[in-house]
Amino acid sequence: MKNFYELTTIDTKKKLVVYIELVLHDNPIYTFTVNDLVIDKLNCILYFDLFETLNFFCKVKKGAIEIKKITINDKEVMPIYLSYAEPKTSWITEDWTLNIFQPFYPWYHKITGQGWIA
């Protein structure tokens, strides 16, 4: 029999599923990372804690990288919300970042105009 504490405990590990789809142009030399994890595939699935912040970073030395899609828990983030990236583009030819500076769901609710969630 479980006690009350065990029943109310929520496991937040690996609850954020991040899917990244990249397209290479002109034989690029680049580094793409998510929270300092190097992404070396054109299609990649990563798992993060539900309350973790996410930092996407790309450095291109030659050629170009196109971010075809980034989804988090099946919610499309790129290219729909590229206005939150720096520079505001999904076609990368230099340094590029997208910082989700707070847990994903409060950030997503704020940028989509759905209000604040607890």
Provide the pLDDT confidence category of residue 8 given band limits of 50, 70 and 90.
low
* Locus of tokens 């099946």: 74
Length of the chain: 118
Give the pLDDT score at 2. Answer: 57
Radius of gyration of the chain (CA): 16
Q: Could you please report the per-residue DSSP string of 8-47?
A: H----TT-EEEEEEEEEEEEEEEEEEETTEEE-SSEEEEE
Residue 1 has pLDDT above 80, yes or no: no
- CA distances to 6, 11, 41 from 3, rounded to whole Å, are 6, 16, 44
pTM: 0.88
Give the pLDDT score at 71. Answer: 98
All domains in the chain, ordered by first residue: 12-111 (2.60.60)
Q: What's the mean pLDDT in 38-45?
A: 96
C-beta separation of 67 from 79 below 8 A: yes
